[in-house]
Every structure is written in C-alpha cells, then in structure tokens.
Amino acid sequence: MVAGPVRNRLSSPPTVSPRQVEPRTNEGAAGDDATTNKTARSPRLRQRRVFPRAPITELDTGKSPVSLSCVVELSTDLCTLSYRRSSLVTHPPTNLSRVPMSAANFYIPTLPGLSADSTLSMYGGHIPSLPSTSQVGATSATSSESDAHLYFFMLKARHIADKERTIFWSVERRGLRSASAHSLAILYSDDRFNGGPGCSSFDGSMMEVGPLRLEPGSKGTLKEIDSAWNEYANVVFVDQPAGTGYSYVSTNKYVHELDEAANHVVEFMTRFYTVFPEFQRHDTYLAGESYAGQYIPYIARAILDSARIKTPLKGVLIGNGWIDPYSQYPAYLDFALQSGVIKKGSAAETQVRQAVKECMDALESRGGKLKVKVHTGLCEAILQGITDATVTSVNGLDVCVNNYDVRLTDSYPACGMNWPPDLADITPYLQREDVKKAFHASRHDGGWTECNGGVGSNFWASESVPAVQLLPKLLDEIP
C-alpha cells in the first residue's frame, strides 16, 4: 500500500586485476576505512606476507586504547588502527591515518555460516563520506576529523558479461510519519509511527536482489540463490545516509536534506573509485526502492554535476518509489478503497477523505505542485488514518494491516515493519560480533538495526523539492 520494498529477484570465477590482491585468508584483511589506492603492482608480485606484531594496548593519543597491527605487503608497510570504545567510535590521529588502502583490505574471503565451497567474490567496509574540497585520492586525514562513513558490501559478477556493469543499490522503506510533528520515528522508538529513511541496504542484499539468504531458524546458516543481480553485474549495496545500517556518524552530524545526502554519496564514490579504479570505467546504474525514489535522482544529478566522477552513468532503476508526493498522497485512499483495506461509505472513508482534502488544500496554499515539499506533516495523516482504521483485537492483541502487503496483518503499531519474516533471522545474524568482523564493519558502534530512528528523525528534507522534478532533465542527460 505504501511505497515500500519490492521483493523482485531479478558462474567463470571472477578475475583479479594486477592492481587488486585478494588474500588467501582473512588475516590482515579487516581494514574498515578507505581513501587512496596503492600504485600499480607488477602482475608477478601477487604473494602477500603477513607479519603480525605484538599489539600496543595503550597509545598516547588522549583517546581510547588502541591496538596496532602492521602488514608487510610487497615491501610496503601497511598499518591499520582499530579503536574500541563503548560509546562513540573514535578515529586514528591525523598523522597515523595517512595510510594508503588497497582493495585487498576490503576483501571478504568468507562469512560465518557460508559454505566453504562458495565462489562469491565479496568486498566490504567503511569509506569516508563527508564532502570535502580535497583532491581525488586524498588520504583519510581530512575526513577522519569527521566520523561520517558509509558502509558498502560489494558482490562481483559471477559471469563475464558483454560489458562490465556496476549497480549501486540503496533501499529505504517508506512508512508512516507523524502528522503532528516534524519528525519521524522508527518502530521501537518513543513515537508510535514508523518508516524510512534510515533503513539498511542489507534489506536488498539478503532479502531481495542479492545472492545470500539465511536459512529460517538456522541461527546463521547462509544459502545462495540463483538469479540474483550479481550474475552478470557487480552490485554495491550502500548503507546511506550516514548512520544507516553499518554506516556511522556522530548523532549531531546526521544529514537533513536530499542534496546533502547526495553529496555524501558522491564523496563515497570518489574514494571508492580510488580503491577500485577499474570500476570507474564500468557502465554504472543507480538502483533502489521506496524512499530511494527521492535519493536516486538527487544522487544521479550530483554525479552528473561532479567534476570528480567520470564514470559513465547509464541509467537509474527505481522500484515502487516515493517520487511525487503531490500525486501519491491522495492515491493512498484510492488504493485502500479498491483493495478493500477500508470499505466504501464507511466512517473511515469519510475521515480519510477529509484528511486528503486538508492535505491538498495545504499543498495548493503553498504554491501547488511545483512548490510541494518531499514531506508534508499534514498529508501524513492520510496513511495514518487508513492504518488506524484497520486496527482490530485478536486474542487480546491489537493487529493492523501490513502496509507493505495488504493481504497480511501485523502487530500494532508495527503495521508492516516486522515484515518480511526474514528479518527475524537477519537481525540477530548481523548483530553478531564475528559477523561484523567478517563484513569489516567493526568500527560501527553497537548492533545492526534495519532502520535507524535517529537518521529518520533528522531527515525531514524540508527544503528539498520532490525528485519527480529532477527526472525530466535527468532522462535527457542519461544515455
């Protein structure tokens, strides 16, 4: 009923370029941060020697205890710092963060629960995303002063295609927002309403278009499926805005507007291409669903306007997107009536129809379609009214319609945020420390959650115009 997730599910082994070393084990491969790539290496220098040094338990930085390990690779010292704090994540001092990183630091040889004979080629980790004026290839020193880092999980194509293609995927559930306050809360926060933005792209990688699924009730056994999107394309799942999923940022530095979020992605991509330079030549697509209907056009616009990214942007893919509030807000009632979620002629219809009128009057008074904002608090009462009208008591528990599949019900006030059932297995799996370490996500403080209420409550996009207004020009410019 809402613009929510689409559950579509649209192998020679991957080759390794001379610039990219895939270690045989995960020893020394747990780098979480990236900025610059090493210079090209000779194809014959493929072996890697690892010499762990005794950990330094205390370093005089004025911060938390630090553990230091060094890897000798091709006669070059590569040192990584790992901070452990119980609250906010801290970062290496500037003089120690000017360390070049290579693709090998992001290589994921395996995952807990994954079969030993898996041929998946996986990479993941954190990349700084705070926009800066530094040149392409700058080290992490500039961005390490801010802790805005996006997390990515990349799956390389299983097969050789006619052309090399890379898809950047973002997923954001769109759900209920408070009609009385300019804020949003995710389920289990203090407010009763739930939704996106702020939801992790692991929804896409482990429930939708990626090749991995968790066996129900297995407590961590992964299986691979056929016909995932990485059959003939590289797929990069990105947790954004900062603070979503495994990405992280200070609580007082969440992004607030769509252009700001897009600039963070451009910074991320600039640094991503420094680590994986061969990907900048690939035909590139932006894909996502739901609230990504707002993100993707803004990100596409920022890429086309950037002098730092030269990748050929070939298309955007938006499923069930929240794109045009002026048209989509009143359509909620039409769909609810046609699908039988609420009955025609009922008191609920009268109440919701009044909410639609108040919404459209408010939009017109603010200048009509061309002046409408991405979110209007008064208009959120439409979906809220429809959902509230479905609440019934079953065995003493309140249940309501599942906003993402109106054939189903859910506990109130979740109304869809407990769906799909895969979440019951995915959440505890991604919260495990061994899993976080395998994904190179240890710098993310705390456990993984599907949706971050802090990100959502700060991202009202009150100054952003709806993405539908960006699409005509984008369609003219993207080949």
Burial of 199 (C-beta count, 10 Å sphere; 0-12/13-18/19+) = buried
How much is the pLDDT for 133? 52
Residue 420 lies in a domain: yes
How much is the pLDDT for 472? 96
Round to whole Å and give the CA distance between 356 and 340: 18
- Beta-bridge mates of residue 79: 70
How much is the pLDDT for 393? 96
CATH number of the structural domain spanning residue 41: 3.40.50.1820
The structure tokens 């994540």 sit at 89
At what angle are helices 292-305 and 258-275 packed, to 10 degrees? Answer: 60
Residue 9 lies in a domain: yes
Residue 116, classed as helix, strand or coil, is: coil
Round to whole Å and give the CA distance between 451 and 172: 9
Alpha helices in 163-291 (DSSP H): 202-207, 258-275
Domain range for 223 = 1-324+391-479
Which is nearest to 50 in space by CA: 25, 67, 18?
A: 25
Please, what's the largest Cα pairwise distance for the chain?
A: 77
The structure tokens 């992280």 sit at 248
Give the number of other Cβ atoms within 10 Å of residue 182's Cβ: 12
Report the sign of the C-alpha dihedral through residues 343, 346, 349, 352, in that order: negative
Round to whole Å and give the CA distance between 4 and 172: 8
Residue 443, classed as helix, strand or coil, is: coil
Residue 336 lies in a domain: no
Residue 342 lies in a domain: no
| Low-confidence residues in the chain, pLDDT < 50 | 4-99, 134-145, 176-195
Round to whole Å and give the CA distance between 190 and 401: 21
Round to whole Å and give the CA distance between 444 and 456: 18
Number of domains in the chain: 1
How much is the pLDDT for 78? 32
**For the sheet containing 409-411, what is the strand order?**
392-394, 397-401, 409-411
How much is the pLDDT for 147? 80
**Both ends of the chain: CA-CA distance in Å?**
32
Residue 382 lies in a domain: no
**Under a CB-based contact definition with an 8 Å cutoff, are residues 172 and 255 in contact?**
no
Round to whole Å and give the CA distance between 147 and 357: 44
Round to whole Å and give the CA distance between 316 and 204: 16
The DSSP-derived string for 435-463 is HHHHTT-TTS-S---SB-HHHHHH---TT
Round to whole Å and give the CA distance between 184 and 193: 7
How much is the pLDDT for 7? 38
Residue 82 lies in a domain: yes
Residue 226 lies in a domain: yes
How much is the pLDDT for 193? 28
How much is the pLDDT for 175? 53
Is the bond into 297 cis (omega within 30 degrees of 0)?
no
Residue 160 lies in a domain: yes
Query: For the chain, what is the total number of helices (H) and then of strands (E)?
Result: 12, 14
Alpha helices in 276-391 (DSSP H): 292-305, 325-338, 347-365, 380-389
Round to whole Å and give the CA distance between 469 and 479: 19
Element (H, E) at 431: helix 423-431
Which is nearest to 237 in space by CA: 112, 125, 103?
A: 125
How much is the pLDDT for 382? 96
